[in-house]
A = this chain, B = another copy of it.
Amino acid sequence: MSTLETLRAIWASGRAVINGWCTIPGAWGAEIMARAGWDTVTVDLHHGLVDYRDAVGMFQAIQLGGAVPLARAPWNEPGIIMKLLDAGALGIICPMVNSGEECARFVGACRYAPQGYRSYGPTRARPAYGEAYDQSIGPQVLAFAMVETAQALNNLDAIASVPGLSGIYVGPADLSLSLGSPERSDPTVPHVVEAIERVLSVCKQRGLIAGFHCGSPAYAHHMIARGFQFVTVGSDGAFLAAGAEAAVRAMRSDVPAAQASTALY
C-alpha cells in the first residue's frame, strides 16, 4: 500500500517513483492498473477520455489497488483542481504552466490559506485518508507544474521558485512541438534534450522533483539515470492497444505461433 510517505521515502533515498497513467474512463480498468504494482497511478483528465465523475471512482479503485492516486488536471483551473483533491487525489499534475504567475495560480489552488487559496472541504479525502489528512496529508499534496513550451522554458526560474511547488513534470510532445521538433515521445533531438536537461538542473537546484512522461521502460530507465525521480511509463490505452494489436498480428501472420505467444505474455 503506497502512501505519500512511501513516495517521500523513495525520493529521500534518491530513487524514482514509477507512475502509471490512465486515459480510459472506468474504475475497473483503474483497479487493474493499480494492482500492476505502480507507486502512483495518475488519472489523466487533460488528454485522457476521463472526466471528474469517472475520476472519483478511479481514485477509489487506485487506492484499493495499493497505489497513490494522482490526477492530471484538464487545465489550470482552480475549480476542478480543488474538486480532484477533495475527491482523494493526493497530487495534481497541471498542464501548460507557462509563467510564474500561472504557477502561483496553480499551486495556490492546491494549498490552504495562508499558503494558498484552496477552499476547505475534503469531503472524500478526509474519510479516505483519516484524520491525518487535515494534519499532514492535505497540506502536502503534490503539485507538479508541467513545463512543455518555449515560453515556460523562458520563465523557468519564475515557475520553479513558486513556494509550495513539489516538482516539474515535462511533457515531451508539446515541448517538441513548441521547439519545432517532430518527435512526440522519448525525445532525442539535441536542442530538445538540452531543454530537458535545463529543467532537470533547475529542479535539482531548487529541491524540486523532476518528472517525465516516458514512452517506454528503456527511456524511463535512461531518464532515471539522468536524475528524474518521477517517471510515467506507458498508459492503459497504450497497453490495451499494443496487446490487442500484437495478438491480432500474431493470428494474421504465419510466423511460428509459439514464438509470438512468448513475446506476448
Contact = CB atoms under 8 A, between A and B. Distances in A.
Contacts of A27: 27, 56-57, 60
Interface in A215-265: 216-222, 231, 233-234, 236-245, 247-252, 257-258, 260-261, 263-265
A200 interface: no
A63 interface: yes
Interface in A4-51: 18, 20, 23-29, 31-33, 35-38, 45-49, 51
Contact of A251 (B56, B79, B113, B221): B221
Nearest to A23: B123
B128 A33 contact: no
Copies in the assembly, this chain: 6
B74 A60 contact: no
Interface stretch (A156-164, A171-179, A189-197, A203-211): A171-179
Contacts of A238: 243
Contacts of A166: none
A52 interface: yes
> Top 8 A-B pairs ranked by shortest CB distance?
A239-B243, A75-B79, A47-B121, A221-B257, A218-B261, A36-B244, A217-B250, A218-B257
A82 B220 CA distance: 27
9 contacts: A24-B28, A31-B124, A36-B244, A46-B79, A46-B121, A74-B83, A77-B77, A221-B251, A242-B265
Interface string A48-66: 1101111011001101100
A31 B47 contact: no
B265 A112 contact: no
Contacts of A26: 24-26, 29
Contacts of A241: 32, 35-36, 127
Given A36-B248, A264-B217, A28 B47 contact: no
B245 A37 contact: yes
